[in-house]
Structure 1
Amino acid sequence: MSDFSNSLAAFASALRAQAARLRHVSENIANADTPGYRRKMVSFEAVEEAGGERVAVGRVRLDRRALERIYDPGHPLADETGHYRGSNVDLMIEIADAREAQRSYEANLKMFDQTRQMSANLMNLLRK
């Protein structure tokens, strides 16, 4: 029976990790027009625990790509040439990351539910 609980714990950790990823993607999208904002990228790590491996959110890194130079002489942050630094968020990448995180979340949720149903069916069989 502990295999079921270990599986549920592994899927739950994966759900938490994908939720964290979606949170960072949504922050990136919300700050796409914020001057000087750098895209946040989340990484995952495998963590060994007594019941098996789990997924944990690793360090959040900032994207080191160059910030976009935007020409707007009237902007308060513009330099003497009329340019200021925008963000390095690419909305197409963020949408793709959000879709991938959503699909991973859904797959883990389905596996979590199937494991829970198998455990419930096993308990029903053992009661008979």
Structure 2
Amino acid sequence: SAYILISAGVVVIVTGIIGCCATLKEMRSLLVVYLVLLLCVFLLEIIAGVLAYVSHQGLDAELRQNLKETMQQKYQQPGEESITQAVDKLQQEFKCCGSHNYSDWTGSLWIQEAKNSRLVPDS
């Protein structure tokens, strides 16, 4: 969608120049071109907005899945202290538990250890 917005910006500049020329020279045909270009800019911005919304939804789902996998495979595992700290900080900052809810922890290697009777971490 970034390329669409850049294209829209270029079209806006060209449209502005055409609009100024059309007004100064009072040329009806250039005013029609100006109107068409304005409509094109409007459509480009609508398309960019729709694409941004669609990609945001996909990105949100992917981030949630990656967070869940990270929590389940790397939390409190040897050599993964930075992951543990990051997950703890994330849960403290957003006052949440897991990617979707507390049940995300049920598949965690840390929870499944015999010496651990917790359902979720203290963070």
User: What TM bracket, shorter-length normalisation?
Assistant: 0.3 to 0.5
- TM-score, normalised to structure 2's length? 0.44
Which of the pair has the greater relative contact order for Cα pairs under 8 Å at 6+ separation? 1
Larger strand fraction of residues: 1
- TM-score, normalised to structure 1's length? 0.43
